[in-house]
Structure 1
Amino acid sequence: MKVPGLVKLSDLWDTLRTSYWFVPTIMAIASTALYAALQTLDTNLDKKLVYKLGWVFTGGPDGAREVLAVVAGSMITIAGVTFSITIVALTLASQQFGPFVLRNFMRDTGNQVVLGTFISTFIFCLLTLRTIRGTDRTTFVPHLSVSMACILAMCSLGVLIYFIHHVSAFIQASNMIFAVSQDLEQAVDRIFPERLGTVNETEPDTHWNKFVENADNAPVRSVEYGYIKAVDNDLLLRTAQENGLVVQMLKRPGKFVGKGDEIAFVQPGGSVNEEVESAINESLLLGPQRTTTQDVEFVFSQIVEVAVRSLSPGINDPFTAIICIDHLGQGLRRVADRSIPSPFRYDKKGALRVIAFPVTFSELVDSSFDQIRHYGRSNAAVLNSLLDTIGAVASHVGREEDLQVLQHHAELILKTASKGLKEEEAFAGIRSKCFATIESTGAKGYFCSAGLKEDSIFTAKQGKS
């Protein structure tokens, strides 16, 4: 029997967190245990003590049945109403924010606890109701259990008030985007600091050239299909070390893998067997959708989707798009402060074992700005916000190549504005801010990516108009 690795356990925990049934199930089990404990106390409880305690239920069997029946009936009714409100909230959130952000709503602990409270109270009352006896031969009233049912009913009323407030606040755009932004910060902290295996960055080009020049490569193909949710790097490194291999991964988390697609190259090719292919396939955790386990680009895409939807003609809400841009900038600042892990990973003896290229700062910037720039090309406020964000992120960037990426996107925004903005004043404002942003990132009078002079685009704009 194989012991699941940390990556699979992490993915399992993430799946349980995003399910709407896990927390209610735990709470239902807890209510059953509470019922068993209180039944034991009720069985051994002195009746004289019951009447001394003013807060304990002191009624007879008929009164106890009526109280429990009312509480149980009301709880299952409220649970149904809560479920209906949840479906409506999910529908509205899906239409406004897109289907991907529903994951945040589903895994929200508050929503799960609310449903779990109602179900747990219902189960507790139902189990307690069956223990009441009121015949001529024997009479038994679980006084403590009935009292606890009343306490749970009062707690459920408070939870219902919380739920109405929580759902109303949660589906607001700013709160939803902030929740996704927090996921983004956690994903950056979780993914970028990790160095898997022993990393040696002194001669990366040499190792890569040797791998490319070596013709003894054998491909490993996928036996399943789906999105890569995570890669078990420990299993991959251990497999390569035990078999004396160098494995180059062709896919990273977030990419789609079709059945039969090449997922890795292995050197030496003659060492590839069924066991090695099975281990490499097992190191890839596939699923029907992308997750945030090792896919930080997916979290950026969630915020971008909200921004793009808000810029659609049907919604036309640039203020929400600007909020998204602000949070994307915060995520890029966090990435800019981190070191991108080396693609070359070594075993403890210093031998190269795995080559796996991570997502780069350039790719994250492209994912963050490309679509928003395209769909916001006719809105000066959105383009201004993009330039402000680029300037803010540039102050955190320490790598020259990353500064060039930001400069390139500033130039693209100016080109987009020249075609999308009809007002000369609006374009002039974008032009001035773009030049200021370019200068703040390090360029001196020229756009680094295309070598265009400052006045070239403005001249073309005047000629066009």
Structure 2
Amino acid sequence: MKKILFFYNKLMDTFWFIPVLIIIISISLSVSLVIIDQEFTFSQDGLGKYFFVTSADSARSILSTISGAMIGVAGTVFSVTLVALTLASSQFGPRLIKNFMYVRLNQVVLGSYVATYLYCLFVLNAIKEGDDYTFIPVISILVAIITALINIILLIIFIHKIATSIQADKVISDISEVIYKQINSLYPNKMGEELENEKINIVDIIKTKYINSIAIKSPKSGYIQYIDSEALLKIVSSYDALLELFFRPGDHLVEGIEMGKLNFNNDLNKEQIEEICNQFVIGKTKVADQDLEFSIHQMVEIASRALSPGVNDPYTAITCIDNLTATTCRFSQIEFPSKYRIDDKQNLRIIANTTDFEGLLNASFNQIRQFSAGSPAVIIRLMEAQITIYGFVKKENYKKAVRKHATMILNIGKQTIKEDIDLNDLLERSKRILSE
């Protein structure tokens, strides 16, 4: 079920699905309203004479005007979207294009204008005028006018959204919001079983209980986008087997590479092995669904571009560091899933490749530190970030990881900061961590 939900979410995130859905709804609405106009006669007295069209020529003129304007604006919307994507690609990196394409408002606006154009064409075709029979779909025309008014409002909202969405601070803030949502989605509850040190030592003994083992090879090249962990646990448990996974979502696979090893006693056929492989979704690009580092890398890419000699924008890099500091502090408070997964009978079934705090800390700050050479403001802010994170971490291995980063930041500061006062500022800050 979760795998179906994953593909549904991917479909909703495409740039074409929502517009096509709106177009289908508009065509269905045009046919339905024309039928209503045929079945019922609407009074054109009183208020009706102000809202209902009484002339076939006027009806055609109104619908032609609306349809022509809508398809023209649709082209403008498409052009503005492409310009925004181009600016985002050059300023923030090509991987950020997905974030702009997946904005629901952009999809709705494009679909709404094209759908209104087609709606007017269908209603226009239904107008009939003759000596003995005249049909004017007054309700359908009134709906077209109301829709045109709504589209004008949508255009204003769209322009405002585009103007704000390409601002660096807004882009970084949106990525941070995505990361927070991912944290709540990926780690809402404890997953797996934390084995004590003495129990970890018996994992090798557990493996010896299985007579056979077979390599689970990747069926194609690409990135792991999704693993249905619950289904995989049930399948492996039904086989009375133990599965070791060597990769996690976000990792790249080459066709035929050993992505896991299955230890078992009973004979397994080819279909059963394929059933295990089917729980992995492998695609050509990375996605953020189960890959927390994906969104982190997006923010790191913005900071890295900002620190390049051609851009030289330390303020944007500092904004990225500030947001990464907030998310890393959040990481220090969550319970990361254990790599040991057990079934209902308390039998070890899966040894997964999982992410941890140190891995996310490395993903957040390693590249920024490497590109920050020669920028005292950024190096000092990186040290301040480690001080803030250090105040939140409780586990000793987390503190050790933060101190390691602080040491590396201090080293690059000593190597590249030429001004003694700036270097002394860095040294003073580093003592708050490294003096312990």
Q: TM-score range by the shorter chain?
A: over 0.9
Distance in 2 (alpha carbons) for counterparts of 1:15 and 1:47: 45
- Alignment equivalent of 1:387, drawn from 377, 380, 383: 383
Alignment of 1:242-391 (within 5 A): 242-268=238-264, 271-391=267-387
Give the Cα–Cα distance (whole angstroms) in 2 for the partners of residues 131 and 40 of structure 1. Answer: 10
Deviation at 1:365, TM superposition (A): 0.6
Tell me what 1:171 maps to: 166
1:236 touches 1:283 (CA, 8 Å); kept in 2? yes
2:17, 2:355 → 1: CA distance? 32
> Residues 32 and 123 of structure 1 are in contact (CA less than 8 Å); yes or no, is this contact kept in structure 2?
yes
- Whole-Å separation in 2 of the counterparts to 1:142 and 1:306: 54
How does 1:59-458 map onto structure 2 within 5 Å? 59-196=54-191, 199=193, 201-202=195-196, 204-210=199-205, 217-268=213-264, 271-439=267-435, 443=436
* Identity level (%): 31
Figure out how many residues of one structure are paired with residues of the other and give that number. Answer: 434
SS of residue paired to 2:392: coil
Q: Does the 8 Å contact 2:241/2:349 carry over to 1?
A: yes
Distance in 1 between residues matched to 2:302 and 2:199, nearest whole Å: 38
Most deviating of 250-259 and 27-36: 27-36
Q: 1:457 — aligned with what?
A: none
Structure 1 residue 243 displacement after superposition: 1.1
| Partner AA of 2:120 in structure 1 | C
Post-superposition shift, 1:208? Answer: 3.1
Corresponding residue number in structure 1 for 2:30: 35
Runs of 5+ consecutive residues of structure 2 not aligned to the other structure: none
Q: What's the offset of the Cα at 1:47? A: 4.5
Instruction: Give the TM-score normalised by structure 2.
Output: 0.95
Distance 1:148 1:407, change over 3 A: same
- How far apart are residue 348 of structure 1 and its match? 0.5
Deviates more, 1:270-279 or 1:296-305: 270-279
The residue aligned with 1:448 is none
SS in 2 for 1:100: helix
Q: CA deviation at 1:270?
A: 6.8
Partners of 2:380 and 2:206 in 1: CA distance: 45
Judged with a 3 Å threshold, the aligned counterparts in structure 2 of structure 1 residues 382 and 50 are, in CA distance, closer, same or farther, namely farther
Mapping 1:43-62, distance limit 5 Å: 43-49=38-44, 52-62=47-57
Q: Is the 8 A contact 1:362 1:405 kept in 2?
A: yes
Distance 1:426 1:211, change over 3 A: farther
Does 2:21 correspond to 1:26? yes
Instruction: Tell whether the 8 Å contact from 2:243 to 2:349 is kept in structure 1 after alignment.
Output: yes
- Checking the alignment, whether the CA contact within 8 Å between 1:173 and 1:320 is kept in structure 2 is yes
Distance 2:194 2:306 in 1: 45
Query: 2:332·2:393 contact (CA, 8 Å) conserved in 1?
Result: yes
> Could you report, residue by residue, the CA deviation over 1:401-447 in whole angstroms, capped at 9, with x for unpaired residues?
011000010010000011111212111111111112335xxx2xxxx
Contact 2:224/2:249 (8 A) holds in 1:
yes
Quickly say closer, same or farther: Cα 1:408–1:315, change in 2 above 3 A.
Answer: same
Which consecutive unaligned segments of at least 5 residues does structure 1 have?
Answer: 444-465
Compute the displacement of 1:269 (Å): 6.8
Provide the secondary structure at the position in 2 that maps to 1:177.
Answer: helix
Superposed CA RMSD: 1.9
